[in-house]
A = this chain, B = another copy of it.
Amino acid sequence: MLKAPDYQVAGHKALDGQLGPLVDGSGRFYKPFQKDERGVQEVAFYTTFSSNTKILDHIRRFFPIFYGTQLVEASDGSGLCPHIVLQDLISNRIHLSIMDIKIGSRTWYPQASEDYFQKCIKKDRETTTVPLGFRISGLQAYESEESGFWKPNRKHVLDFTMNDVRSALRKFVSSNPSSDAEPDCSYASIVYGGSTGILAQLLELKAWFEDQTVFHFYSCSVLMLYEKQAVLEGRSDAEVKLVDFAHVFDGEGVIDHNFLGGLCSLIKFISEILTSPDQFSVKGGLQDSENNCFCSENSIKE
């Protein structure tokens, strides 16, 4: 009865004999244990998190519900394998627009092995992780019955520049995402804005991250999701969720400044779209300031 999910924009897929997550069609998502210790670590996080009574519901709602672990037939035909059983965040959703954003200006953690550190920092410097404090891992935006989804391929998404990210965040809430024309940001105010929109949810998360010193999240993603149909009906069903907890560490009494900094950067991008939905331009200090002789990319040797 388990099958590959209809929508998946990042991570390994349970297709063509590959190992990937499965869904049961009635609200549960089965994530196979990742190799090495990552699967065990992710279960440990969910166990700790779900039993921590200090975490209030307005924060808990950002995390998938955890139902434990279960042996199920793996999608790659390797037999019964342990899976983490979670709430399926996208069951019963139609024509879902979804974006997966890996938060933080580094994906490596202080205790990482030298190999893992080198692998992560290379990718962090090659993507927008270092300059923006986050990178888009995958996305799809529903356009229409005729044109379907705008869904740039993953290789292209990983090559996104700062301006590609700016553009993608606008296209994500536009009626014309797959067009070469300027994104119209038609849905920005209802999806990103309002008292229950994505910006309001990100600000709630931010307030938590300014205070909580229990968890440090590395390589963790913010998912932003909404249905175009709901928007057209004037309802906002936009949601923010956090996923991927294979690299969560004890905060040891320190805030997760790496996650918080990246989250604030994302918040600023989204605020700017709400402030000037019809003005897509490369914003920057040099154009704005009267004197641009201070250190710019080209004038610096070291």
Residues of A within 8 A of B (CB): 36-37, 41, 44-45, 47-49, 51-54, 105-106, 110-113, 115-116, 121, 125, 130-133, 162, 166, 210-211, 213-215, 247-255, 257-258, 260-262, 264-265, 267-268, 282-286, 288-297, 300-302
Contact = CB atoms under 8 A, between A and B. Distances in A.
A290 B51 CA distance: 7
Contacts of A210: 264, 267-268
A264 B121 CA distance: 23
Nearest to A48: B294
Contacts of A214: 284-285, 288-289
A192 to B, nearest CB: 17
Given A288-B214, A293-B47, A36 B302 contact: yes
Q: State the copy count for this chain.
A: 2
Contacts of A45: 294-295
Nearest to A209: B264
Given A48-B293, A255-B264, A290-B53, A125 B113 contact: no
Given A111-B297, A260-B261, A295-B45, A37 B250 contact: no
A248 B295 contact: yes
A129 to B, nearest CB: 10
7 contacts: A37-B302, A41-B294, A45-B295, A47-B293, A166-B253, A211-B268, A213-B284
A131 B254 contact: yes
A125 B105 contact: no
A81 to B, nearest CB: 20
Contacts of A255: 264-265, 268
A1 B103 CA distance: 53
A301 to B, nearest CB: 6
Contacts of A264: 210, 255, 257, 260-261
B111 A247 contact: no
A57 to B, nearest CB: 18
A85 to B, nearest CB: 18
